[in-house]
A and B are shown apart, each in its own frame.
Chain A
Amino acid sequence: MFKLTKTILKIFLIALIINPESSLANEGCDNALLFANELTDSTIEILNSNELTNNQKKSHISDLLTINVDFTTMGKIMLGKYARKINEEQELIYYEIIEKMVSKTIYDRLETNDDPDIMYSISNDNCREKGSKGKEFLVDGDVMKNNSRLASIRWWLILNKDNEFKVVDLNLAGLSLTLQKKEEFTSYLSNKSIDMLIADLSKKFN
C-alpha cells in the first residue's frame, strides 16, 4: 500500500516537473481572477452607490475603464482586417473616440439601478488561459441581482509587456462588445473609408 502511494506521488511529481506550464497557467489565472474581481468590485461599488448622481457614476466608471481597458487593442480588433489600413494621424483620433464609445456602451449596459433595494454584485469564479503564450485569459462569472443570478459575464483579459492585466472585451449575457463592434465596423468599412468611420463615430461620441 505504502509502495503504491509512493509510486503515485512520484508520477504526480514527474508530471509537475515535465509540465511546468500548468502551474504557471494557474498562477496567471489566479492573478487574472484577482484583477477581474478588483475591477468588478470597484465597478459595483460605483453602480450601487446611493450618494453618486448618474453623471458622477458615469464619470467614475469612465475613469476606472481608462486605467483598466486596453482601448488600443480593442480598437484594432474592432477594425478587423482594416486595422492595417489606419494611418498614424487617423489612429490618434480613432482611439480617443473608441475610449469614449466603449466607456459609454459599458456604462449603458451596466447602468439602470435606480432602486436602492436592488443590489447588484458580480462574482468571477472561473478562469482559463487562452492561446499558448500565457498572455490571454478568459474570466467568467455571474452578475447577481440581490441573490438571484441575472446574467453571465466574461472578461477577456490580456497581460501586457509591463505585466499588467488589461480588458479587451466584456461579454455580458452572451453579448460581446468588441465582436459586435468588429462586425459593425468591418461591414461599414467594406463600403466606406476609415475617415468616414471616424467622422461618423466623432459625431456620435464627441
Chain B
Amino acid sequence: MCINKIIKLVNCGPTFALLFLLSSVYNANADVFIPFEQTIADQYNMPSSSIQEVEEVTEPVAVVSFEQTIEDQYNSPYALTEIQVKDVSEEVFDYSLYDPNEEKNRKTFEFHQKLDKNLFKPLARTYRDVVPEGGRKAIKNFLHNLETPTVLINDVLQGEQERAGTTVNRFVINTTVGFLGFGDPATDLGYDRHSEDFAQTLATYGVESGPYSYSPIFGPTTSRHTTGRVIDFLTHPLTWYFTDQDATVGLTYGATRVVSTRENLLDALEDVEMDSTDYYVSIRNMYRQMRENQINNGLFGDDPSQFSIDTSIDLNLVF
C-alpha cells in the first residue's frame, strides 16, 4: 500500500513534488530573515553542534605573546587582557559553515538568483499588489497551520512535551476559532508558533550538519538539512493526500507556498542584497546562524567561547 503510494506520488505528482520542494527553497531563505511582523516561531528554533572543525590554521593569525595586549596589537582603546600564546598548529574551530564546494555552490546560487529575478520575485510582487495585506496574512497562517504534523512529530521526537502541547493547542484553536487556520487566535492566547523539522531533530541527536551546499531545489542547505527535508516531505500527511487528488490541487498548494513565502521575504532580501559585499556569503552566514538558533529553540547557545575578545582561541577567530 505504502509502496503503491510512493510509486503513485512519483508517477502522478511530479509537478506537485517539484513545487513542494521548490517551496522549501524559500522556506530555507525564510529562516534567514527577521522581519518584526513575523512571529518568533518563524524565526526560530539549534545547539552548538553545527560548529565545524576546519583545517589547521597555517598562517599565524594574530597570535600574540603574553606581554602584548589587544591595545598593543590592534591599537584598540581597550586594554583588555594579556593574551596567551597559542600554537598555530593546534586545531581551532571555525564558526563559519564548512563549504568545500564553494565554487560550484556559487554557480548554482547565480543560476538561482536569475530564476528568482525573472520568475519568483515578479510573481511575489504581483501577489503583493493584488492580494491585500489581511488576505496575505490569512494565507500565511493557513499554510503554517498545515505544517502542524511535521512540527508535532518532531516536537515529540525531540522529547519537547511542552512544545508538543503548544503545537496541538495551536492547531485545535486555529482550526476551529481561527476558521481552518486562516486566523491565528492561538498566538494571542499565548501559544506562540514555533517551527520544528527533522533536520533539527537530527541535530538534537548529535548528527553533524555536514558540508554546506547551495542546492537548486533546496537553496541553502547542508547534508543533514537535505536529509531532514526529504523525511519531512515523505512523512507529511499532505504529501499522501495529494497523491489521491487531481494534480492541480497539489500544484496550487505548492505554488501558493512558494509565492507567499517569497513575498514575505521581498523587503528583507532586498536589504541584505543591497548592503552586502558578497551576497552569497551573507546568505550562507545567515542561514547558518538562523539554523543554529532554530535548533536551540530560539535561545542563545551557552557556548561562552563563541565570541570573546580576550581568550586566545577566540582571538584566532576574531582577529
Which A residues fall within an 8 A CB radius of B? 70, 72-73, 76-77, 80-81, 83-84, 101, 104-105, 108-110, 112-113, 120, 128, 130-133, 135-136, 138, 140, 143, 145, 148-152, 154, 156, 158-161, 168-169, 171-176, 178-180, 182-185, 187-188, 197, 200-201, 204-205
What does the 1/0 interface line of B1-43 toward A look like (CB < 8 Å)?
A: 0000000000000000000000000000000101111011001
- What separation, in Å, do the CA atoms of A152 and B192 have in the docked complex? 13
Indicate if the CB atoms of A73 and B78 lie closer than 8 Å: yes
When distances are taken between beta carbons in the complex, the residues of chain A under 8 Å from B319 are: 76-77, 80-81, 83-84
Indicate if the CB atoms of B36 and A174 lie closer than 8 Å: no
When distances are taken between beta carbons in the complex, the residues of chain A under 8 Å from B310 are: 130-133, 135-136
Indicate if the CB atoms of A152 and B36 lie closer than 8 Å: no
Question: Nearest A residue to B94 by beta-carbon distance?
Answer: A183
Quick one: given A72-B76, A161-B79, are A184 and B37 in contact (CB under 8 Å)? no
Q: Does residue B181 face the partner (Cβ distance < 8 Å to A)?
A: no
Indicate if the CB atoms of B44 and A174 lie closer than 8 Å: yes
Indicate if the CB atoms of A188 and B278 lie closer than 8 Å: yes
Indicate if the CB atoms of A84 and B74 lie closer than 8 Å: yes
- What separation, in Å, do the CA atoms of A152 and B299 have in the docked complex? 7
Q: Does residue B276 face the partner (Cβ distance < 8 Å to A)?
A: yes
Smallest beta-carbon distance A22→chain B, Å: 16
When distances are taken between beta carbons in the complex, the residues of chain A under 8 Å from B78 are: 73, 135, 158-161
- What separation, in Å, do the CA atoms of A140 and B294 have in the docked complex? 17
Question: Nearest A residue to B37 by beta-carbon distance?
Answer: A112
When distances are taken between beta carbons in the complex, the residues of chain B under 8 Å from A72 are: 76-77
Q: Which of B79, B81, B285 contacts A183 (CB 8 A)?
A: B285
Question: Nearest A residue to B187 by beta-carbon distance?
Answer: A148
Quick one: given A133-B80, A136-B308, A172-B34, are A152 and B285 in contact (CB under 8 Å)? no
- What separation, in Å, do the CA atoms of A145 and B231 have in the docked complex? 34
- What separation, in Å, do the CA atoms of A198 and B35 have in the docked complex? 28
Indicate if the CB atoms of B308 and A130 lie closer than 8 Å: yes
Indicate if the CB atoms of B34 and A151 lie closer than 8 Å: yes
Interface residues of B in 256-287 (CB under 8 A from A): 271, 274-278, 281-282, 284-286
Question: Nearest A residue to B38 by beta-carbon distance?
Answer: A150
Indicate if the CB atoms of A183 and B96 lie closer than 8 Å: yes
Question: Nearest B residue to A158 by beta-carbon distance?
Answer: B78
When distances are taken between beta carbons in the complex, the residues of chain B under 8 Å from A169 are: 307
Indicate if the CB atoms of B43 and A174 lie closer than 8 Å: yes
Indicate if the CB atoms of A109 and B285 lie closer than 8 Å: no
Smallest beta-carbon distance B299→chain A, Å: 6
When distances are taken between beta carbons in the complex, the residues of chain B under 8 Å from A182 are: 318
When distances are taken between beta carbons in the complex, the residues of chain B under 8 Å from A173 are: 34, 40, 43-44, 290, 293, 298
- What separation, in Å, do the CA atoms of A25 and B78 have in the docked complex? 18
**A80-B318, A148-B190, A151-B44 given; 17 more Cβ-contact pairs under 8 Å:** A76-B319, A77-B307, A80-B317, A83-B319, A112-B36, A130-B308, A130-B310, A138-B300, A148-B188, A150-B39, A151-B36, A160-B78, A174-B43, A174-B46, A174-B293, A180-B282, A180-B285
Smallest beta-carbon distance B130→chain A, Å: 21
